[in-house]
Amino acid sequence: MPHLLILGQGYTGTRLRAAMEREGWTVNGTGRTARPGILAADDPAVADAIAAATHILSSVPPETDHDPVLARHGAALAASGAWLGYLSSTGVYGDTSGAWVDETAPVGHGRRSARAAADLAWQGIGARVLRLPGIYGPGRSALDRVREGKAQRIDAGAQVFSRIHVDDIAAAVIAAFAAPPGVWNIADDLPAPGHAVTAFACRLAGAAPPPLVPLAEAELSPQARTFYAENRRVANGKMKRDLGIRLRYPNYRSGLRACLREECP
């Protein structure tokens, strides 16, 4: 029977786990700390879980200068014979000044150098690497920021962001189960400025949109401000060609409407 191990089961992994359990798969996961159905990442039983799994997906981000999963279990993963997958980031491409970027572009030139190194290391052991932009979905979207009174509309000039609904990530992982090792961008069809997404979320929530604030005047943490230092459009054609993906939510409008339906049926 197919057995999926999700290393670093967070928001995305939890949605994927639910989908696979509905299909009759055995699924277990790891996390920073143990909880029902989740092993602590440093539990010796993780080695046994790796040996038992037919499919292994890691969504664990790199630490300062290394991938903690590969540092601890790299040899066992490489020798496991299991299907291997890794959820990476489109941040590995760095800034493209708003140009489209696909999987042929070089990586490691942006602020995500550790992520780029991990991305390449997972490729080196035969993983399917899925590069993700901003992730959103029920309980974690612009709608939630609007409801919490934390939404901002920031004018960053011509800057746009790509994004992807969590259920389209799960669908991409499932499609990649049948694919040979490779790299794919998993993104929707409509890169857009963040302030447009917030405005649409306000419209759905029946709230007045916050004022448009110049980036220089916005109240942002240092980490959030670095997010605005890069501008790129993520191309998803290889995903569609290789994996046969037909996005359920090809843009933020359809995705946010789906979030609203799920949260307020």
Q: How confident is the model at residue 110 (pLDDT cuts 50, 70, 90)?
A: low
pLDDT for the residue numbered 201? 98
Each residue of 4-22: pLDDT tens digit? Answer: 999 999 999 999 999 999 9
d(CA 222, CA 200): 26
d(CA 233, CA 100): 4
Which residues does residue 57 pair with via DSSP β-bridges, in sequence order? 6, 85
Each residue of 112-158: pLDDT tens digit? Answer: 789 999 999 999 999 999 999 999 999 999 999 999 999 999 999 99
Each residue of 203-238: pLDDT tens digit? Answer: 999 999 999 999 999 888 888 888 888 999 999 999
User: 3-state secondary structure string, 121-146?
Assistant: HHHHCCCEEEEECEEEECCECHHHHH
Q: How confident is the model at residue 254 (pLDDT cuts 50, 70, 90)?
A: very high
Each residue of 20-64: pLDDT tens digit? Answer: 999 999 999 999 999 999 999 999 999 999 999 999 999 999 998
Candidate from 25-34, 104-113, 246-255 with smallest mean pLDDT: 104-113
